[in-house]
Chain A
């Protein structure tokens, strides 16, 4: 793979804000933790075609951890994803990657298990199995991240987004809370304010569970240094007026 800059796709985004995009990552309506409500499964083929027309590679984000029933659904879904033209899948469940590798699919595979890849040796084990890219932990120092990029040129994707899912639970924590307190649940998104701190974290509930979203410091990654080793980057869409 020679592409470098990845962005999470939203139908609302102005493509002019990401002129340097090489890949668009589309939250899969069925297998991502927080799917974009504006993206339906029936629209994926068209989204993929539009992306290809703009000379972008198109990947699907499937960051749920799947139980066996979901795995069975995925087994018929993945060939369809390939048939409609998607180039690859970014996933958090190693079982998804195993399905891609062992079922003769041509989809490229990007393994992102959160903080579980924190060394070059760990990255190597998954790349050796056949995954195309891996995403190292966001919790690494510059030296730690640099070593991984140096040893695995062109096969590392650094997630540099500011806001991300800090915790994912299969429990419906908000629904349970409101039911237990006999309060009517008004929305699917709230803020949770820790008693000793003023700032809060967004907490959302979807069919897949409960997710806490917040801002972690970006990994200590120097874009130009890592880029020289062929690293890929998942970036935020810049806000209007914001310099890149």
Chain B
């Protein structure tokens, strides 16, 4: 059975992009009960629209109720849980044994135990299975070999992260945000103090000039996909419900291409290069393989003064007429520049901008105004949900 590629979505637009670009499943936040309390979120109506859209493409939608509840939350939470089934969700992600019980009592939905529980061994997996969990999302502190060993003995599905922002500290057990800001990380309000700048001092008072930060590099496991496919893990997860439409589309596009190529044994160096280009184009922090490669250090980030961005996202295409399309530009564009077109389930394609018109139909040489509508012509047909970008010069 093929591994599931699981993508995040902070809103309906992101979900449609994730599904169109090839995600097998998408996870979304439910109400105020997930760990991304600042995302624009989904109303009941938009969840129904989301599940309808996803199911038509044979993709699944999981709802995250992965915050840590207080007693006062349970009245509204129980009402929400009772409605989940009629929203046509395919599963629920939670970090609480009590929420697990409520979902099992009130619905027939499968329940996945969140990475907030930092499950790293077979006994912990067995414990959650005994409570009725159908899948466990493993903690990020495991190597590929360790994941493979767990898959060999697990009686529930296992899921692991492959891309995105990572906690430096063990998930669910970090009090730094509460200490510094009184914001509870386990209820979606983490202030990310691990990424702040500190000075390191010895006990005798001597201070080091070089700044210290605990922030972890992002995870990018694209180079390890062939090994991960052999572990037996059921789902490969991309982090990022707060991320942009472009980020989600580019990540899904890259991982979908590479997973399919490896499963179909059509992987090549040139395809890997193209996939890396996708992932680099949306990165804003250095990335590494985290704990997945046991011999490598998990890695930290150090504050960088230079911009890390090597691509500029230009826009999502609209008003398509075969090879002609419009877009609201997110970054400047001028004639003669090369544009990369990323389309769902297609390889990257490129063209030089030879003609550009504004919303009034007048030909223009360049456009600097953010969100201005321009019309472009490509030498090939542009599918729906395509996005364009260009390299930084």
Residues of A participating in the B interface, judged by any CB pair closer than 8 Å: 65-68, 70-71, 92-99, 102, 113-116, 118-122, 124-126, 129, 137-140, 144, 147-148, 164, 166-174, 176-177, 180-181, 183, 186-187, 189-195, 197, 200-201, 203, 210, 212, 214, 216
Q: With A68-B150, A94-B127 in contact, do A139 and B121 touch (Cβ < 8 Å)?
A: no
B137: interface (CB < 8 Å): no
Our pick among A118, A176, A177 for the contact of B70 (Cβ within 8 Å) is A118
Question: DSSP majority for the A interface?
Answer: mixed
Q: With A116-B116, A187-B202 in contact, do A216 and B97 touch (Cβ < 8 Å)?
A: no
Could you give 24 example pairs across A and B, Cβ below 8 Å?
A66-B120, A71-B121, A93-B120, A95-B120, A98-B127, A99-B123, A113-B172, A118-B186, A122-B97, A125-B97, A167-B168, A167-B175, A168-B173, A171-B300, A177-B212, A180-B302, A191-B200, A191-B201, A192-B199, A192-B200, A193-B198, A193-B207, A194-B193, A197-B180
CB 8 Å contact bits of B184-220 with A (1 = contact, 0 = none):
1010000001101111111100011010101010000
CB 8 Å contact bits of B162-181 with A (1 = contact, 0 = none):
00000011101111101110
Q: With A71-B122, A169-B168, A216-B175 in contact, do A193 and B71 touch (Cβ < 8 Å)?
A: no
Find chain B residues with CB under 8 A from A147 CB.
71
A119 to B, closest residue via Cβ: B71
Is A195 touching B196 in the complex (CB atoms < 8 A)? yes
Q: With A67-B120, A125-B98, A194-B196 in contact, do A171 and B168 touch (Cβ < 8 Å)?
A: yes
Closest-CB distance, A30 to chain B (whole angstroms): 15
Our pick among A71, A116, A166, A200 for the contact of B176 (Cβ within 8 Å) is A166
Is B98 touching A124 in the complex (CB atoms < 8 A)? yes
Is B201 touching A67 in the complex (CB atoms < 8 A)? no
Residues of chain B in range 62-120 having any CB-CB distance to chain A below 8 Å: 68-74, 95-98, 100-101, 116-120
Instruction: Please report the C-alpha to C-alpha distance between residue A214 and residue B179 in the assembled complex, in whole angstroms.
Output: 8
Q: With A71-B121, A94-B124, A95-B122 in contact, do A119 and B95 touch (Cβ < 8 Å)?
A: no
Our pick among A65, A98, A180, A200 for the contact of B126 (Cβ within 8 Å) is A98
Instruction: Please report the C-alpha to C-alpha distance between residue A115 and residue B176 in the assembled complex, in whole angstroms.
Output: 12
Closest-CB distance, A88 to chain B (whole angstroms): 17
Find chain A residues with CB under 8 A from B128 CB.
94
Closest-CB distance, A127 to chain B (whole angstroms): 11
Is A144 touching B71 in the complex (CB atoms < 8 A)? yes
Is A65 touching B139 in the complex (CB atoms < 8 A)? yes
Is A67 touching B175 in the complex (CB atoms < 8 A)? no
Find chain A residues with CB under 8 A from B298 CB.
170-171
Our pick among A138, A164, A170 for the contact of B170 (Cβ within 8 Å) is A170
Our pick among A67, A99, A138, A169 for the contact of B214 (Cβ within 8 Å) is A169
Find chain A residues with CB under 8 A from B368 CB.
none
Find chain B residues with CB under 8 A from A210 CB.
214
Is B202 touching A186 in the complex (CB atoms < 8 A)? yes
Is A119 touching B146 in the complex (CB atoms < 8 A)? no
B176 to A, closest residue via Cβ: A167
Is B199 touching A116 in the complex (CB atoms < 8 A)? no
Is A168 touching B69 in the complex (CB atoms < 8 A)? no
A202 to B, closest residue via Cβ: B203
A96 to B, closest residue via Cβ: B123
Is A171 touching B216 in the complex (CB atoms < 8 A)? yes
B277: interface (CB < 8 Å): no
Is B300 touching A173 in the complex (CB atoms < 8 A)? yes
Instruction: Please report the C-alpha to C-alpha distance between residue A186 and residue B174 in the assembled complex, in whole angstroms.
Output: 26
Find chain A residues with CB under 8 A from B119 CB.
95
Closest-CB distance, A175 to chain B (whole angstroms): 9
Closest-CB distance, B40 to chain A (whole angstroms): 26
A180 to B, closest residue via Cβ: B302
Is A166 touching B174 in the complex (CB atoms < 8 A)? yes
Closest-CB distance, B49 to chain A (whole angstroms): 32
B391: interface (CB < 8 Å): no
Is B68 touching A195 in the complex (CB atoms < 8 A)? no
Is A122 touching B96 in the complex (CB atoms < 8 A)? yes
Find chain B residues with CB under 8 A from A68 CB.
120-122, 146, 149-150
A148 to B, closest residue via Cβ: B71
Is B210 touching A183 in the complex (CB atoms < 8 A)? yes
Is A65 touching B170 in the complex (CB atoms < 8 A)? yes
Find chain B residues with CB under 8 A from A70 CB.
121
